[in-house]
């Protein structure tokens, strides 16, 4: 694969006791069975951004913060995203919203899919994230994996594994298939190769 699609699995929390590492490892194992894209974990812990305080919006001028520059450079390398997100108070984690606010062009015309977890499978956070991403000109997929309370508690406290819930893998496979299609299509469009 001389010019593979690059998909980032973005971990949306930085808490020491976060759950996000488990679905990230599980999804990465599924994703690596594919031969049409390269998948990597992008951890917000590696980009300790201060609370947004740039002179202007990144839509107008690039950020001056050095960590923000590294964050933007990583996003620029990627052709699509899977946001692995917790739900905090019916919304996305503040650290994720802050990171989204630090970039603009690096997100444009790329697809995103979602793995949500929490009481309602992270559904409210995923819906909020779709709204924010649309403003960043990201194409949000309709497909998502939703780890509801039952699976979340089973994995976190009862010693169960993702494999104990085979329907989650079915959802993940369908989500990745759709995401890769959109990533390929939108990359061609960004490069001016789209069919007219």
Distance CA 25, CA 47 (A): 19
User: 160 in the Ramachandran plot: left (φ > 0), alpha (ψ -120 to 50) or beta?
Assistant: beta
Given a contact cutoff of 8 angstroms between Cβ atoms, the answer to whether 69 and 85 are in contact is: no
Domain ranges of the chain: 5-190
**pLDDT the model gives residue 35:** 95
pTM of the model: 0.95
**pLDDT the model gives residue 1:** 53
Q: Which CATH superfamily is domain 5-190 in?
A: Flavodoxin domain (3.40.50.360)
Given a contact cutoff of 8 angstroms between Cβ atoms, the answer to whether 11 and 24 are in contact is: yes
**pLDDT the model gives residue 196:** 44
**pLDDT the model gives residue 2:** 74
pLDDT by 10-residue block (mean), the chain, 196 residues: 89 95 98 97 98 94 96 98 95 97 97 94 95 97 94 93 96 98 96 66
Model confidence pLDDT, tens digit, residues 91-111: 999 999 999 999 999 999 999
**pLDDT the model gives residue 119:** 84
**pLDDT the model gives residue 193:** 67
What single DSSP character describes residue 162? G
Across the chain, where does the E strand assignment appear? Answer: 5-11, 37-43, 80-86, 110-117, 138-147
**CA 132 to each of CA 100, 104, 137, 173: distance values in angstroms, whole numbers, following the listed order:** 8, 11, 9, 25
């Amino acid at each position: 694969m001389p010019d593979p699609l690059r998909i980032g699995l973005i971990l949306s929390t930085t808490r020491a006791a976060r759950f996000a590492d488990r679905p990230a490892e599980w999804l990465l194992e599924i994703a690596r069975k594919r031969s049409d894209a390269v998948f990597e974990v992008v951890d917000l812990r590696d980009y300790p951004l201060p609370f947004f305080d740039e002179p202007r919006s990144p839509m107008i001028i690039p950020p001056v913060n050095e960590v923000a520059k590294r964050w933007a450079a990583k996003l620029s390398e990627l052709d699509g995203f899977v946001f692995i997100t917790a739900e905090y108070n019916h919304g996305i984690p503040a650290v994720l919203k802050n990171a989204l606010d630090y970039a603009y062009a690096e997100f444009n015309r790329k697809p995103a899919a979602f793995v949500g977890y929490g009481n309602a499978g992270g559904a409210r956070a995923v819906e909020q994230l779709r709204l924010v991403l649309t403003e960043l000109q990201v194409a949000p997929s309709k497909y998502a994996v939703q780890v509801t309370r039952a699976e979340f508690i089973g994995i976190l406290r009862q010693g169960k594994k993702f494999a104990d819930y085979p329907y989650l893998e079915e959802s993940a496979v369908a989500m990745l298939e759709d995401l890769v299609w959109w990533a390929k299509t939108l990359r061609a469009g960004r490069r001016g190769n789209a069919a007219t």
